[in-house]
């Protein structure tokens, strides 16, 4: 697996108030260090951004634990504060790289699903190697889902959507749940989706199932 990161490192932008929220709430609502030790069904959300979708998904399915990972520091503080305020207990927040989490701490065949909504499109050709949906990382994601587990992606960047279809189609452990695009599922609307729609972009959903 290549070590190329899928995000811009932009640490240290947290305000003092956000920092104290994180210090206070990570011990309670954060994903504990070490191997994933959660009982019952677990879904991983990669790149929760501001966490709007995370909250709605957690409310809609209280029996499933959502492990929500992002490297974006203000978003981490925002999601932690919202979970605390709304007494949502089935989310564990990982402030860090979801790829290393998957590689080092999630056992094979473990997850019910992986969701990544509007992952950074990295539109320039020389940046395609940073995309989350690239062959080595798709193989990693497939290996960590249980047979029958669902990988759900959405993007408003048409060339990335086409590339996703191709890369996912080439992974032998995944099969498309639909002929091409998935219908828009019960996915909550996110900030990036609204921005994309405002710019006239078409939003594509893809659902692939672990065989
Ligand atoms: C374009 S934003 C979309 C955010 C949100 N899902 C939405 O739809 O509004 C992509 C997010 O993925 C995060 N990200 C990128 N690579 C990541 C990784 N390897 N692990 C965790 N988060 C990552 C970025 O920090 C960013 O917040």
In this predicted model, what pLDDT tens digit does every residue of 95-134 receive, in sequence order?
Answer: 999 999 999 999 999 999 999 999 999 999 999 999 999 9
195 alpha carbon – ligand 1 mean position (Å): 15
Number of domains in the chain: 1
| pLDDT attached to residue 10 | 66
- CB proximity list for 115: less than 8 A, separation 6 or greater: 43, 44, 45, 46, 53, 57, 151, 152, 153
Domain assignment present for residue 123? The answer is yes
Using a 6 Å cutoff on CB, does residue 153 contact ligand 1? Answer: no
53 alpha carbon – ligand 1 mean position (Å): 12
Rounded Cα distance, 29 and 91, in Å: 7
Q: Provide the Cα torsion 96, 100, 104, 109; round to 10°.
A: 100
Select from 4, 49, 154 the residue to mutate for testing ligand 1; criterion: most ligand atoms less than 8 Å from CB: 49
Using a 6 Å cutoff on CB, does residue 120 contact ligand 1? Answer: yes
Q: Choose, from 61, 84, 109, 120, the residue flagged as catalytic.
A: 120
Domain assignment present for residue 182? The answer is yes
In this predicted model, what pLDDT tens digit does every residue of 137-160 receive, in sequence order?
Answer: 999 999 999 999 999 999 999 999
* CATH number of the CATH domain containing 185: 3.40.50.150
| pLDDT attached to residue 192 | 82
Using a 6 Å cutoff on CB, does residue 70 contact ligand 1? Answer: yes
In this predicted model, what pLDDT tens digit does every residue of 195-205 receive, in sequence order?
Answer: 888 898 899 99
- Rounded to two decimals, the pTM is 0.96
Rounded Cα distance, 141 and 145, in Å: 7
Provide the β-strand partners of residue 204: 155
Domain assignment present for residue 92? The answer is yes
Strands 145-155 and 204-210: antiparallel
Domain assignment present for residue 6? The answer is no
Domain assignment present for residue 199? The answer is yes
Domain assignment present for residue 5? The answer is no
DSSP 199: T
Q: Is the pLDDT score of 184 beyond 90?
A: no
Tokens at residue 183, please?
């219908």
The answer to whether residue 3 is catalytic is: no
Q: Which atom of ligand 1 is nearest to the CA of 69?
A: 21
- Provide the 10 A C-beta neighbour count for residue 198: 9
Rounded Cα distance, 206 and 184, in Å: 9
Using a 6 Å cutoff on CB, does residue 69 contact ligand 1? Answer: yes
Domain assignment present for residue 163? The answer is yes
Query: What separation in angstroms does the CA of 49 have from each of 27, 59, 100, 119, 195?
Result: 20, 18, 18, 10, 13
Spatial contact of 154 and 204, defined as CB atoms under 8 Å apart: yes
Domain assignment present for residue 3? The answer is no
Task: Name which residue sits closest to atom 5 of ligand 1, judged by CA.
Answer: 49
128: containing domain: 16-210
Strands 111-117 and 42-46: parallel
Spatial contact of 80 and 93, defined as CB atoms under 8 Å apart: yes
With cut-offs at 50, 70 and 90, classify the pLDDT of residue 76: very high
With cut-offs at 50, 70 and 90, classify the pLDDT of residue 89: very high
Rounded Cα distance, 211 and 205, in Å: 19
């Amino acid at each position: 697996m290549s070590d190329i990161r899928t995000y811009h490192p932009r640490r240290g932008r947290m305000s003092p108030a956000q920092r104290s929220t994180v210090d206070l709430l990570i011990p309670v609502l954060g994903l504990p260090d070490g191997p994933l030790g959660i009982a019952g069904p677990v879904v991983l959300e990669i790149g929760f951004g501001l966490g709007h979708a995370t909250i709605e998904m957690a409310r809609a399915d209280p029996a499933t634990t959502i492990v929500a990972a992002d490297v974006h520091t203000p978003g981490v503080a925002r999601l932690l504060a919202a979970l605390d305020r709304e007494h949502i207990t089935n989310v564990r927040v990982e402030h860090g790289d979801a790829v290393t989490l998957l590689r080092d701490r999630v056992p094979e065949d473990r997850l019910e699903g992986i969701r990544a909504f509007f992952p950074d499109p990295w539109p320039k050709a020389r940046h395609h190697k940073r995309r989350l949906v690239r062959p080595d990382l798709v193989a990693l994601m497939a290996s960590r889902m249980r047979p029958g587990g669902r990988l759900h992606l959405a993007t408003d960047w048409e060339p990335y959507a086409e590339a996703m279809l191709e890369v996912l189609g080439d992974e032998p452990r995944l099969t498309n749940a639909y002929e091409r695009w998935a219908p828009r599922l019960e996915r909550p609307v996110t900030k990036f989706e609204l921005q994309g729609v405002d710019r006239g972009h078409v939003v594509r959903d893809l659902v692939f199932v672990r065989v």
